Amino acid sequence: MKIGVPKETKERERRVALVPESVKVLIKAGFEVLIQSNAGLSSYFDDASYTDAGAQIIADNKSLYAAADILLKVNAPSPEEISWMKPDAVLISFLFAATSPQVVEACVKQGISAFSMDAIPRISRAQKMDVLSSQANLAGYKAVIIGAAALGKIFPLLMTAAGTIKPSKVLIMGAGVAGLQAIATAKRLGAIVEVSDIRPETKEQVESLGGKFITVEGDSSIKLEGGYVKGVSEEFLKKQQEVITKHVSEADLVITTALIPGKKAPVLITEDMVKKMKRGSVIVDMAVEQGGNCPLSEMNKTVEKNGVIIIGESNIPSLLPLNASELYAKNIITFLTHLATKDGFKWEMEEEITKGSLIVHKGQAVHPSVVKTVTA
């Protein structure tokens, strides 16, 4: 089977779905690999490195789409790009299907199959395929670096002949994969780290990394699935805001990481809370692409409100394209080799990983998140 990797076209995207090392693995497994010219250049992989790995370089993306039996991407293709694929081809990329009906409809119309990398079940045997975690890990690290660069003071305690500099206070909201990496990074840089999360079971992990856990008593409105928050009431968010307002006002850097799949990001830092923050303090809103954890953050902009610097970078993993592409490629080839061999897909429809991630099968919407909203 021929695997095609086109150049990403989404604005500010620098990642690529396969790196040369992963091409070698797939060719050894019997696949053919087609790479669009300059697809990896923004991740620092030139065409020669792919050719050396055994891939064939294709100049035109339309020709690549038409030739591929399996198309591997980071971001979902546009409906027009999907129309270039041959019927019965298979797409594997981020789809975020519940909020991308036009992409799902294009897959149905074209008669292809589509797997979504963001829908892979978060179970132990799928850990090596968990692209959400691999990318969030990098994003958590980079968010601290971005915040530190914007902050007009250093993180660690510094005792000098001219006087003592107090350590910076960093508040991290959300102790998921990104949050935990942010804690570890901020601690390594010498900051005092406080952490808020609505899941009390994260307290031990936070403290093991040296963070101070801010306890907010939960209630029955918090819906968890696989250890991840799937829903929370407005009443609880208000209670959380009341508890953390003091901590926000004392923080030098606040990093927010809270997302709810398929929904607008919850508001954690209100406009009133921003007014109480110190002049020169910084917010890095990692949820800006889904509406933001702070209503004052702006997509892909750094703004100053009431003397507070608010950074709204929508694609933080893409700021580390070399590492992000390497990890994504490992995730995607582990996933692909679970689903298929060089001779074809296994189509084990009741197998947990297949069932959880398959959005469209041979032109028919099959995933519960889209089956009711998409018609052929």
Selecting among 127, 208, 221, 364, the annotated active-site residue is 127
122 annotated active-site: yes
Token pair 């670096």 in the structure block, residue: 145
Do 70 and 89 meet the contact criterion of CB atoms below 8 Å apart? yes
Tell me how crowded residue 52 is: count the other CB atoms within 10 A of its CB: 12
69 annotated active-site: no
Beta strands in 220-297 (DSSP E): 223-225, 228-231, 253-256, 282-285
135 annotated active-site: no
Selecting among 122, 199, 233, 314, the annotated active-site residue is 122
Token pair 């029955």 in the structure block, residue: 220
Selecting among 69, 130, 197, 252, the annotated active-site residue is 130
Distance (Å, rounded) from C-alpha 336 to C-alpha 6?
17
Q: In sequence order, what DSSP letters do the residues of 289-332 get, joined into one string? A: GGT-SSTT--TTEEEEETTEEEEE-S-GGGGSHHHHHHHHHHHH
Selecting among 228, 233, 249, 314, the annotated active-site residue is 228
Q: Are strands 169-173 and 32-36 parallel, antiparallel or unpaired?
A: unpaired
Do 144 and 189 meet the contact criterion of CB atoms below 8 Å apart? yes
Selecting among 37, 49, 133, 233, the annotated active-site residue is 133
Annotated catalytic residues are 122, 127, 130, 133, 228
